[in-house]
C-alpha cells in the first residue's frame, strides 16, 4: 500500500477539497495534515474554526485514513517523518508563497524518490461564494474585534503595520512574502494619528476630529479583515473618551492606545524639542478606569502608552506609571522612545517583565529600527507596530513623479517607476 499525504489549510471542506481527497485515495492510504493556527495565519487568513474543530472536520471524511497536525507551512518535518510516496496538492502554484511551498515539497521528496501530484484546482462559483462568505465573516465587528486577543495567544509577536486608507489597508491585508524558507504576512493594522493627519495635510495635534478618524477606520474596514489597533492620542477628556471606547467597540476595532499627555498634544518623535505635558498618574489612571468601565464587550483592549522616556522623565517614572496603569485596568502597556538605540526600551521591558509576566507590551520601533521582532520578543514584547512606513514610502515616490513631470513636461521619463496602467486598473477586485 502506497502512502499518500495532503495538507489542508481551511475552515470548510468544499468540492475542491473533496476532489483532491478522492484523487489522493486512488493512490493509496491517505494521511491528511491540518495546518496549525500560527502557520495558517501566515499562509492564508485567520481560522474561523479552532484547530480541534478543523481536525474533527477532516477526521469525519470517510476517505481519510489518518489525520496529523502539520506545524509548519514548509514540509521538511512532515515529509521527513511520514516519507509519503505521494504528496497531493492543488495546482494553484502561482505567486511567491506558493512557489516557495512548491520548491520545498519537490526538494524534500527528491531526497528519497517521492512524487508530487498536482490536481487541477476546483474554483467553481459555489466554492468562490463560500470562500467570500468566510472572508466576509472575518470582517464582521465581533469576529474582527476579538482577534487581537486571540493573536496574542497564537503568535510570538503581533506584527502590525500602519494603514491610513483603503489602499494602504489592502497592502496590510494582502502583502505576503516568501523569504528564508518561510512565508509571512502582517497580523494587524495600526491607524496612526500621525499618518491619518499627514494624509489630510494636517499636523498631528488632535486636530483631525474623531468623526474623521472613524471615517478612515471605515474605509480600511470595508476592504480588509485584519484586526485594528487605533491610535487614540490622549483619549481627550475622560467624559469624551468613554464615548470613543463605545464607538470603537461597535465598529469592531480591537484596541485603542492612549498616551499619558494633556493639553496640546504634539507628536512624540519631537520629544522635548516642543512643549508637551505629561498627565498625572492619578488623572490618567482615572481615564483608563473610566474607559474600562464603559466598555461592553470582553475583547476590546485599552492600552496605556507611557511617554516618560520621550519626555526624559526617567526609567523609574516610566515603570511606576506602567504598574499604576495596569492596576487601573489597562489591558496592555505601550512604551515609547525616540532613541536610535533600543537599550532603554529593553531595560524597561526586562524590568516590567520581572514583575508582570502577563500584561502585553507594545513597542513602536520607528527610531530604534535596527532591532528585530524576535529580539524584542525575547525581552517580552508582544506587539510591534510599524507606525508610519507606508506613508513615508509613498511621499518620496509621489514627489519624485511630480518633479519628473515638471522637469520634462511629459510623463514618459517617470513611467518605468510607476505601476503599469494595466495593473492600476485591475488592482482592486470587483465584487
Point out the residues that are catalytic. Answer: 204
Comparing CB distances to ligand SPV, the nearer of 144 and 336 is: 336
Q: Which stretch binds Mg ion (CB under 5 A): 159-167, 225-233, 284-292, 415-423?
A: 225-233
Residues that bind ligand SPV (CB under 6 A): 192-194, 204, 231, 267-269, 364, 366, 387-388
Minimum CB separation from Mg ion for residue 162, in Å? 10
Q: Which residue's beta carbon is nearest to the bound ligand SPV?
A: 192
CA distances (Å), 27 to each of 84, 85, 104, 221, in order? 11, 9, 22, 45
Q: 357 CB contacts (<8 Å, ≥6 apart)? A: none
- Using the minimum distance from each CB to ligand SPV, give the nearer residue, 146 or 167: 167
Contacts of 145 (CB under 8 A, 6+ apart): 227, 249, 252, 253, 254, 297, 299, 300
CB nearer Mg ion, residue 100 or residue 383: 383
Helices and strands (H and E) in the chain: how many: 17, 17
Sorted by sequence, the CB contacts under 8 Å of residue 128 that are 6+ apart come out as: none
Shortest CB 198 distance to ligand SPV, Å: 9
Which letter does DSSP use for residue 121 in this model?
A: P
Q: Are 117 and 86 in contact (CB under 8 A)?
A: yes
For the chain, state the CA radius of gyration: 24
Instruction: Estimate the share of the chain in helix, then strand, then coil, as percent rounded to the nearest 5.
Output: 45, 15, 35
Residue 24 DSSP SS3: helix
Question: Cβ 264 to Mg ion, closest distance in Å?
Answer: 14
Torsion sign (Cα): 331, 255, 161, 44: positive
Q: Which is nearer to Mg ion, 192 or 224 (CB)?
A: 192
307 part of the interface to Mg ion, by CB under 5 A? no
Site for Mg ion in 104-163 (CB under 5 A): none
Which is nearest to 245 in space by CA: 195, 410, 237? Answer: 237
Q: Which does 349 bind (CB under 5 to 8 A by kind): Mg ion, ligand SPV, none?
A: none
Is 260 near Mg ion (CB under 5 A)? no
Sign of the alpha-carbon dihedral angle for 219, 362, 293, 46:
positive
Q: Which stretch binds Mg ion (CB under 5 A): 4-12, 145-153, 216-224, 230-238?
A: 230-238
Q: Which is nearer to ligand SPV, 382 or 388 (CB)?
A: 388
The CB-of-164 to ligand SPV minimum distance in angstroms stands at: 10
Residue 366 near which of ligand SPV, Mg ion, none (CB within 5-8 Å, type-dependent): ligand SPV
Cell numbers given for 93: 502554484
> Which listed range, 26-34, 106-114, 191-199, 378-386, lies at the site for Mg ion (CB under 5 A)?
191-199
Task: Tell me which of ligand SPV, Mg ion, none is bound by residue 308, counting a contact when its beta carbon lies within the kind-specific cut-off of 5 to 8 angstroms.
Answer: none
**Binding residue (CB under 5 A) for Mg ion from 160, 193, 198, 276:** 193
Window contacting Mg ion (CB under 5 A); options: 86-94, 166-174, 192-200, 312-320: 192-200
Query: For 348, phi and psi rounded to 5 degrees?
Result: -60, -50
Query: Least separation, in Å, of the C-beta of 385 and ligand SPV?
Result: 7
Smallest gap from residue 239 Cβ to Mg ion (A): 21
Question: Which residues 79-98 are close enough to bind Mg ion by CB under 5 A?
Answer: none
From the list 231, 260, 299, 307, which residue makes contact with Mg ion (rule: CB under 5 A)?
231
- Pattern 194-223, binding to Mg ion, x per CB under 5 A? x-----------------------------
CA–CA distance, 68 with 5 (Å, rounded to integer) = 10
Return d(Cα 332, Cα 96) in angstroms, integer.
35
Nearer to ligand SPV, 192 or 216 (CB): 192
Write down the least CB distance from residue 196 to Mg ion, Å.
8
- Residue 37 near residue 70, CB atoms below 8 Å: no
**Given the complex with ligand SPV, which of 32 and 161 has the nearer CB atom?**
161
- The C-alpha atoms of residue 35 and residue 73 are separated, in whole angstroms, by 7
Q: Give the three-state DSSP class for 313.
A: coil
Using CB under 5 A, list all residues that contact Mg ion.
193-194, 231
Amino acid at each position: 500500500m502506497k502512502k499518500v499525504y495532503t495538507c489542508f489549510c481551511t475552515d470548510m471542506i468544499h468540492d475542491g477539497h473533496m476532489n483532491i481527497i478522492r484523487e489522493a485515495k486512488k493512490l493509496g492510504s491517505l494521511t491528511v495534515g491540518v495546518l496549525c493556527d500560527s502557520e495558517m495565519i501566515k499562509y492564508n487568513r485567520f481560522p474561523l474554526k479552532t484547530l480541534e474543530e478543523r481536525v474533527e472536520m477532516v477526521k469525519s471524511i470517510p476517505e481519510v485514513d489518518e489525520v496529523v497536525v502539520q506545524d509548519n507551512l514548509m514540509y521538511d518535518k512532515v515529509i521527513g517523518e511520514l516519507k509519503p510516496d505521494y504528496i497531493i496538492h492543488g495546482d494553484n502554484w502561482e505567486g511567491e508563497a506558493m512557489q516557495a511551498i512548491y520548491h520545498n515539497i519537490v526538494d524534500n521528496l527528491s531526497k528519497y524518490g517521492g512524487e508530487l501530484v498536482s490536481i487541477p484546482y476546483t474554483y467553481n462559483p459555489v466554492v468562490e461564494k463560500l470562500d467570500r462568505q468566510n472572508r466576509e465573516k472575518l470582517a464582521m465587528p465581533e469576529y474582527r474585534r476579538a482577534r487581537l486577543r486571540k493573536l496574542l495567544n497564537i503568535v510570538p509577536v503581533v506584527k502590525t503595520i500602519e494603514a491610513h486608507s483603503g489602499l494602504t489597508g489592502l497592502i496590510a491585508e494582502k502583502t505576503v512574502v516568501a523569504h528564508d524558507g518561510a512565508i509571512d504576512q502582517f497580523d494587524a493594522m495600526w491607524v496612526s494619528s500621525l499618518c491619518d493627519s499627514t494624509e489630510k495635510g494636517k499636523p498631528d495635534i488632535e486636530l483631525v476630529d474623531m468623526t474623521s478618524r472613524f471615517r478612515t477606520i471605515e474605509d480600511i474596514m470595508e476592504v480588509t479583515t485584519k484586526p485594528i489597533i487605533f491610535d487614540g492620542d490622549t483619549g481627550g477628556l475622560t467624559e469624551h473618551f468613554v464615548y470613543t471606547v463605545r464607538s470603537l467597540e461597535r465598529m469592531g476595532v480591537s484596541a485603542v492606545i492612549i498616551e499619558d499627555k494633556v493639553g496640546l498634544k504634539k507628536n512624540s518623535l519631537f520629544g522635548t524639542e516642543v512643549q508637551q505635558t505629561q498627565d498625572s498618574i492619578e488623572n490618567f489612571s482615572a481615564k483608563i478606569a473610566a474607559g474600562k468601565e464603559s466598555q461592553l464587550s470582553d475583547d476590546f483592549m485599552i492600552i496605556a502608552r507611557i511617554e516618560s522616556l520621550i519626555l526624559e522623565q526617567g526609567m523609574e517614572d516610566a515603570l511606576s506609571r506602567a504598574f499604576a496603569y495596569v492596576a487601573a485596568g489597562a489591558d496592555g502597556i505601550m512604551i515609547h522612545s525616540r532613541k536610535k538605540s533600543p537599550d532603554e526600551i529593553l531595560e524597561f521591558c526586562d524590568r516590567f517583565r520581572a514583575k508582570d509576566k502577563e500584561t502585553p507590551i507594545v513597542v513602536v520601533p520607528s527610531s530604534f529600527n535596527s532591532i528585530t521582532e524576535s529580539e524584542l520578543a525575547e525581552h517580552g514584547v508582544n506587539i510591534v507596530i510599524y507606525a508610519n512606513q507606508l506613508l513615508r514610502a509613498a511621499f518620496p515616490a509621489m514627489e519624485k513623479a511630480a518633479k519628473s513631470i515638471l522637469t520634462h513636461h511629459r510623463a514618459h521619463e517617470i513611467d518605468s517607476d510607476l505601476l503599469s496602467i494595466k495593473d492600476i486598473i485591475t488592482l482592486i477586485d470587483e465584487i
